[in-house]
Amino acid sequence: MKYLTEFRDGAIARKLADEIHRAVTRPWKIMEVCGGQTHSIIRHGIDQLLPSSLQLVHGPGCPVCVTPLELIDRALAIAALPNVIFCSFGDMLRVPGSEKDLFRVKSDGGDVRIVYSPLDAVNLARRNPSREVVFFGVGFETTAPANAMAAHLARNEGLRNFSVLVSHVLVPPAIEAIMQSPSNQVQAFLAAGHVCSVMGYWQYPPLAERYHVPIVVTGFEPLDLLDGIRRAVLQLEAGRAEVENGYARVVTFEGNRPAQDLLSQVFEVTDRAWRGIGVIPQSGWRLSPAYRDFDAELRFQVTGIHTRESPLCRSGDVLRGAIKPTDCPAFGKECTPRHPLGATMVSSEGACAAYFDYGRFLSADELTHA
């Protein structure tokens, strides 16, 4: 694919890795914010090319991991209702609620459907006027424009049988929460490239200044990630703390104005609970009053939800980069990809799931070389 394959070139990747090795003189901890970046790092083995003193901390940029448990339980309850067609992105199907996941609801008879785009859910609503179609609108700022358009089109058309269960989370407040945490060790951020393609990166200079952290807008392919790391390292070594755009082919300072305009119409900022982390003030979006008629949370008053997180699960500490998955006592024992206790073991870019697979490889290697 053009503009994708070129950014996966192995030879150039190793050159970028060499540059990083040349530049690093001290240990550094860099957080990549976005779950998609974590996925790419693990998928291509990027962290293995880096000097061992350079540690990548996997951030909370994974909607699968941070969607509040209470909302998952609400989604499961709505999906189980007889007249509902519940539409979701594939990522959410295996996320554990207090007792089950969407797959269980489906096998129990719920009409749960995977869609690629929120527009597919809108189409389902048009084609099934006698059914209630609910779309699970999760994601960061990247996905919000799509979800906003779904609500917007439904309102324009008077599509009364469509509604959205919204759980949007925002990146800049998350970065702030991480930097403000007393146990924080993150020294630089790779900002989420696609979030920035929508929002721009005008929100970051105050953060870079206030917390004295380099913030590099970074893409997702191996060369993008290595270059983002390289830029962050050069800043760290030089004691600089600036915002840099390493994804200039897609991201501009102002971002996507038409998207931001509709976002400000359809959504309003709210406090949001991040699963495992807690409430971060003003860190989420919910539907604005003009669109409340299409809010599934209001339309379906589901009761009897008893939210119960596993007491063993330490996803939140992992998401904030405070501990490594292997530090969690339940890791690999009560909690495995087959029987996940929390979201970070479910998602393909969840840090715990990644460590589980790669960790087995490491220990096997130690065994054969002992």
Helix residue ranges, H only, 200-343: 204-211, 222-238, 257-266, 296-299, 315-319
E strand residue ranges, the chain:
28-34, 54-61, 84-88, 111-114, 132-139, 162-169, 188-192, 215-218, 243-245, 267-274, 278-287
Which residue type, as a one-letter code, is found at position 185?
A: Q
- Residue numbers 248-267 binding another protein by CB under 8 A: 248-251, 256, 258-259, 262
- Residue numbers 191-230 binding another protein by CB under 8 A: 192-195, 197-198, 220, 222-223, 227
Please, what is the minimum distance in Å from the beta carbon of residue 132 to another protein? 17
CB count within 10 Å of CB 261 equals: 12
- Residue numbers 120-139 binding another protein by CB under 8 A: 120, 122-123, 139
Question: What tokens appear for 18 in the block?
Answer: 């060499």
| CA distance readout (Å), 327 to 187, 212, 239, 323, 346 | 21, 28, 31, 6, 18
Please, what is the minimum distance in Å from the beta carbon of residue 61 to another protein? 6
- CA gap 125, 366 in Å, rounded: 55
Binder of another protein out of 29, 44, 131, 299 (CB under 8 A): 44
The reply on whether position 103 binds another protein by CB under 8 A is: yes
Among 48-56, 67-75, 208-216, 293-301, which window interacts with another protein (CB under 8 A)? Answer: 48-56
Binder of another protein out of 157, 209, 254, 327 (CB under 8 A): 157
Q: Given the complex with another protein, which of 317 and 349 has the nearer CB atom?
A: 349
Question: Which residues contact residue 360 at a Cβ distance below 8 angstroms, ignoring those fewer than 6 apart?
Answer: none
Dihedral angle, C-alpha 119, 173, 328, 91, nearest 10 °? 0
Interaction mask 11-40, another protein, x per CB under 8 A? -xxxxxxxx-xx-x---------xxx--x-
For residue 274, what are the β-bridge partners? Answer: 278
Count of residues near another protein by CB under 8 A: 95
Q: Is 54 exposed, middle or buried (0-12, 13-18, 19+ CB in 10 A)?
A: buried
- Residue numbers 282-341 binding another protein by CB under 8 A: 337-338
Please, what is the minimum distance in Å from the beta carbon of residue 307 to another protein? 23
Q: Given the complex with another protein, which of 12 and 81 has the nearer CB atom?
A: 12
Among 46-54, 74-82, 204-212, 266-274, which window interacts with another protein (CB under 8 A)? Answer: 46-54
Binder of another protein out of 27, 43, 209, 281 (CB under 8 A): 43
